[in-house]
Amino acid sequence: MTAAGMTSLSVSFETRRQLNSMKAMGDHRSVDDLLAELVKQNKLMRMKGVLDELRSRLNELNELDADALVRKLALSPFPV
């Protein structure tokens, strides 16, 4: 990646070089296309994580005994 003591200009050149290398390996038309693809992949991965969490919560709800919950609510000192 970058070495200690690099100036901001050398970091910019190194970053640009790496982006161009990734663009060429990924067969993208431009660095902008590459970055758009990376952002899209990142969003999809985050959405997949949220979806997995929702699925696990739905599975927890499927295992819930609704009748037992209603009976517990009937014992509550607060009016429902």
Residues 6 or more apart from 30 whose CB is under 8 A from it?
A: 23
**Residue at 3 is within a domain:** no
Give the total number of structural domains in the chain.
Answer: 1
Q: What is the pLDDT of residue 79?
A: 67
**Of the given ranges (44-48, 53-57, 64-68), which has the lowest mean pLDDT?**
64-68
pLDDT tens per residue, range 14-53: 889 999 999 999 888 999 999 999 999 999 999 999 999 9
**Residue at 1 is within a domain:** no
Range of the domain at 13: 8-74
Three-state SS at 1: coil
